[in-house]
Amino acid sequence: MDQNQTGGEWARMVSGRLYDPANQEITKRHRTGLLRCDRFNRIALWRAKAKQRALERLIPSAKGKNFEVFAPFYCEYGVNIHVGQNCFVNYKSVFLDVAPITLGNNVLIGPNVTLATPNHPFLAEERAFADYPDGCHELEYAQPITIGDHCWLCSGVTVCGGVTIGAGSIIAAGAVVTRDIPPHSIAAGVPAQVLRQISESDRIHVWEKYIKNEPPR
């Protein structure tokens, strides 16, 4: 394939166009991402500085952002993950960052959350390996995921490619998000549906409850 026409397979991939996942450029970057991810997961917790350096090497946008990730954590490239300030990712989360994954500021990600940008053609014959003019391979594509500021994704949430979750929203445990969620919404279910908007009536006066040593509700 003429790379001058495509801008390179990497450019095709991150921009949401069809690309060849077996392309040499892609496989090299993929292997680098997987190795860096493996290194981050293997570093002992007591080696906090080394573990943070490994995280920032895996996800360069994390540098200086107070970004905390509980291992094990899994991603494909790392460089396609873009994080804001003060984000947290809990155990066993999976970020399939074929297309960009963007977390705003103060995003909370619960355990076993999957952000999956990859997609495949729906027709089986278009999804399978095939003989193309440039060789035998498959073609796939990906769509970006954007999580707005102050969102909370609870345990076991799956977010599909092409989805934007608006600022301040909460996605209930086990939900599968296939469509955009408006800001300040509570969404739940498979597929996720908006249950209601978050309002002033949800305020629990956290500092007062904390000082009085009272339960929040």
Q: Do 8 and 24 contact (CB within 8 A), yes or no?
A: no
Residue 211 CA to residue 213 CA, distance in Å, equals: 5
Active site residues: 120
Point out which residues pair with 159 in neighbouring strands: 115, 177
- Count of CB atoms within 10 A of residue 9's CB? 22
Rg, Å, the chain Cα set: 19
- Residue 194, token pair as written in the block: 């908006």
Residue 173 CA to residue 151 CA, distance in Å, equals: 13
